[in-house]
Amino acid sequence: MATEQPRKSIFSGLGESFLAVLLGNIAYFSVSPYLPERWQHELFRPDLGLLLDFAACAAAFGVLRLVRGMMVKRVE
């Protein structure tokens, strides 16, 4: 008899995404003053700074998913 997996709420992923964006933006804006002007983000303009900010948020999301996966495997 197979054990039934608990259903995940859509809001659990939302909180994880919010935390990733928060951590990514903190990381980007803390190093932003030291970046070359070309890599600094200007408001309301698509530029390389926006791309770097997105990469920082995506990296934070990946790290959070990795840590969460490791914690789930440890519990099992």
User: Which helix (H) or strand (E) element contains residue 65?
Assistant: helix 48-75
Residue for token pair 């770097």: 52
Residue 52 contacts residue 42 (beta carbons within 8 Å): no
Residue 31 structure tokens:
């190093």
pLDDT on residue 73: 78
Domain parsing of the chain, residue ranges: 19-75
Q: List, for residues 6-56, the tens digit of each pLDDT value.
A: 666 666 788 899 999 999 999 999 999 999 999 999 999 999 999 999 999
Burial (CB count within 10 angstroms: exposed 0-12, middle 13-18, buried 19+), residue 61: middle
59 or 14, higher pLDDT: 59
